[in-house]
Amino acid sequence: MSRFPEPGILPSEAREILTRLGVGGDALRGPRAACSPLTGEVLAHVPEMGAGEVERAIARAHAAYLAWRTVPAPRRGELVRLFGAELRAVKADLAALVTLEAGKIASEGAGEVQEMIDICDFATGLSRQLHGLTIATERPDHRMMETWHPMGVVGVISAFNFPVAVWSWNAALAFVCGDAVVWKPSEKTPLTALAVDAVFRRAAARFGDVPEGLSTLVLGGRDAGEALVDDARVPIISATGSTAMGRSVGPRVAERFGRAILELGGNNAAIVCPSADLDLTVRAVAFAAMGTAGQRCTSLRRLIVHDGIYDALVARLKTAYGSVSVGDPRAAATLVGPLIDGAAFGTMQLALDAARAAGGTVTGGERVGEAALPGAFYVRPALVEMPAQTDTVAAETFAPILYVLRYGAFAEAVRLNNEVPQGLASSVFTTDLREAELFLSVTGSDCGIANVNIGPSGAEIGGAFGGEKETGGGREAGSDSWKAYMRRATNTINYGMKLPLAQGVTFEV
């Protein structure tokens, strides 16, 4: 396979994959073009839904919820188990489509579908563990308990960079929790969304009596997203994307007292201490900073390196950056695929210019393959040595840029880690127990994810995923994230003959 994909072939390849996945007919007719970042070509056209259609979809989803909430949770888990089984059967095709539409290298495309399968397994088990509590009551002959009930329709707004997995974290939990889901995917990745919708329909057909509208895909632009965000029949909005998007969605959902689960920007750092295992650190940094072409919300964007090992580490990173192969993400040797589009490239170049103006030294960052593929945006990942944590460093740029900073004392490194508006993921590379534990302690990293001797990206689904500050505070996937998709009721039952009041209050009539 050549270093860059050949134009002219991808649209038919995409059609074949879509046909095998069960996507065709009206799903592939409409005004909106679906493009591939591999070549910039149009792969297919898809429908566009306006606010009215979204409104009808929400009405159907609400009706589906009213039926689905009465299905016992373990039975709801069976639907998710079947969905996981269907995903296993189409893993290779769906992964290939993720690569074609989002530009991920093959193993990351497969990893994304695996993440969907993992959350289905997790949610299936969870369907028998939506536990409440029994709570000690102060009143004699009383029992107090906490129970969990379905909420209603969950609106999921997802981003291009994890075009299928992020929906599945939300949807798999929502379905076992007894909720319905309306999904508005990124306008940049409608084909993978259509494919997932088709796979889900097959699972639903095997299950038998899934209410129509339990899972609905709405393809559209801002209007469609806003219709979802503003509808009071959607008690939960789970939105993944930029901090700017979250700033608009959060208050609108709050205005109607809805619940927002926000997964927004990350500006993830790793601290490299004098005792770090540098072989392991270089590999971890390479994956976290260059993997997915720097387009994960968890991508490593800031490297905070101790003075004593700075030169040695930066030299090794420059070698790694120089040797990494950029190009066709389907080729086995490629580690860095294309950026999603020209706008992403423009934003990256602006950030690099700003870094240079602030005294940064940039290695890499240039566009490659432009002559053969003027509509695709492949870049060499950029390593940027910075004299200080400037405004540019403190902003999230969704591209493969790694800013490198120096530190002297560990406390200073922790301060730099925390002194940005975002709070998603973070790491420390050290073999010193004190540094590791301090980083994980209350005075250490302020992020939702804090790791030792692994990079900030590539989390498993078993833990709760999300972060603080401008990252939005939401938690998805594992641990007890399911609680965000249910409502809690506190129940007090009096099985005695008297009516003792709490707090010793007397009220005799």
Residues found near ligand UN1 in the complex (CB under 6 A):
115, 161-162, 166, 240, 296-298, 457-459
Q: Report the nearest approach of ligand UN1 to the CB of residue 445 (Å).
A: 16
In the chain the first and final C-alpha atoms are separated, in Å, by 88
Task: Output 37 or 369, the one with its CB closest to ligand UN1.
Answer: 37
Specify the 3-state DSSP secondary structure of 429: strand
Contact 458, 443 (CB under 8 A): no
Q: What value, to the nearest 5°, has the Cα angle with vertex 164 and ends 250 and 82?
A: 115
Contact 140, 500 (CB under 8 A): yes
| E-state strands within 36-116 | 42-46
Q: Report the nearest approach of ligand UN1 to the CB of residue 158 (Å).
A: 8
Task: State the Cα–Cα distance between residues 155 and 58, nearest whole angstrom.
Answer: 9
Answer yes or no: 263 catalytic: yes
Task: Output 440 or 454, the one with its CB closest to ligand UN1.
Answer: 454
Closest CA relative to residue 352, chosen from 319, 328, 385: 385
Task: Output 121 or 432, the one with its CB closest to ligand UN1.
Answer: 121
Catalytic residue selected from 86, 108, 115, 263:
263
Task: Output 171 or 386, the one with its CB closest to ligand UN1.
Answer: 171
Task: Output 163 or 190, the one with its CB closest to ligand UN1.
Answer: 163
List residues bridging with 442 in a β-sheet.
none
Q: Report the nearest approach of ligand UN1 to the CB of residue 111 (Å).
A: 8
Q: Report the nearest approach of ligand UN1 to the CB of residue 240 (Å).
A: 5
Q: Which two structure tokens, joined as six digits, stand for 118?
A: 């993992």
Contact 201, 213 (CB under 8 A): no
Under DSSP, the state recorded for 6 is P
Task: Output 115 or 385, the one with its CB closest to ligand UN1.
Answer: 115
Three-state secondary structure string covering 137-201: CCCCCEEEEEEEEECCEEEEECCCCCCCHHHHHHHHHHHHCCCEEEEECCCCCHHHHHHHHHHHH
Task: State the Cα–Cα distance between residues 74 and 79, nearest whole angstrom.
Answer: 9
Specify the 3-state DSSP secondary structure of 242: coil
Tell me which H or E stretch contains 259.
Answer: strand 259-263
Q: Report the nearest approach of ligand UN1 to the CB of residue 458 (Å).
A: 5
Q: Report the nearest approach of ligand UN1 to the CB of residue 185 (Å).
A: 13
**Residues taking part in catalysis:** 263
